[in-house]
Chain A
Amino acid sequence: MASLWRLSVLCGAQGGRALFLRIPVVRPAHVSAFLQDQPAPGWCRTQHIHLSPNHYSGSKAASLHWTGERVVSVLLLGLIPAAYLNPGSAMDYSLAAALTLHSHWGLGQVVTDYVRGDGLQRAVKAGVLALSALTFAGLCYFNYHDVGICKAVAMLWKL
């Protein structure tokens, strides 16, 4: 029997405070993720997201991928001012990694949206992977053998 985790995001009356509740509910299999809006007294908004980790490992992977995308986005957002304030080798490599991962996943979403057909999609995604790998290799090469990303931007801007 698949166990179901219910994640509820509740909005307080003041608006803004988010409470996360996890209530395990045992249910038979064949449940997919869905969102429903249920106005209840005292709450301004309720979202119920059902995830089934045992039977739908695919959707769990997709959920983790989604979260990973947001984490890398926030990381990259923080890296940009950090690179300006504290340039250096560590910053160069962190930027290279975050930049290529964010663009790799972003291009993956574009491919998923517009390239229809299982075989073609897999082929194009392999191409995107190759491009991302080469880009990361190139950036690391630049960081190691040349001035590095932070210094390069500084030099370019002094033009």
Chain B
Amino acid sequence: MAALLSRHVGRHCLRAHLSPQLCIRNWSLPMAMSICHRGTGVALSAGVSLFGLSALLVPGNFESHLELVKSLCLGPSLIYTAKFALVFPLMYHTWNGIRHLIWDLGKGLKIPQLYQSGVAVLVLTVLSSVGLAAM
């Protein structure tokens, strides 16, 4: 019965050309954090590439672009939110990256340690993002 149910659950994933495992399998924290590490990495790369390419292609220097943003007279809360949105993926990728490097040393690979370090990374991400956006 459970097998039939799970097969049905996975079917809409197949329709979307995704792996049925994405719907059947129970998501775990390490699994979710791993894909977020990749997601933030790709997003940050896109941001850096966008910055680099616009330096080559868009006319006007950096200061003039900043003046343009200043002229919009955005509220401080909006600016804080924007800073937070910029720094959050960077902080997540950085802290989780350190976690990855610790794994590469062969440490912290037991399952409970995975969850502990994962939660630590999430807490550190939020705290450092809040702190950096306030600077």
**Residues on A facing B (Cβ under 8 Å):** 9, 11, 16, 18, 45, 47, 70, 73-74, 77, 80, 99-100, 103, 106-107, 110, 131-132, 134-139, 141-142, 145-147, 152, 155-157, 159
Q: Binding site of A, secondary structure by majority: helix, strand, loop or mixed?
A: helix
Q: Binding site of B, secondary structure by majority: helix, strand, loop or mixed?
A: helix
Known: A9-B106, A147-B63, A156-B66. A137 touches B97 (CB 8 A): no
A157–B2 alpha-carbon span in the complex (Å): 54
Number of interface residues of B (CB under 8 A): 30
Known: A106-B41, A107-B42. A135 touches B52 (CB 8 A): yes
12 A–B contacts from the bound complex (CB under 8 Å) = A16-B107, A45-B106, A73-B97, A73-B101, A103-B49, A106-B45, A135-B53, A137-B56, A139-B55, A147-B61, A155-B62, A155-B66
**Residues on B facing A (Cβ under 8 Å):** 38, 41-42, 44-45, 48-49, 51-56, 61-63, 66, 69-70, 79, 83, 94, 97-98, 101, 104-107, 135
Please name the residue on chain A nearest to B52 by beta carbon: A138
Specify which of B45, B62, B107 is in contact with A142 (CB 8 Å cutoff). B62
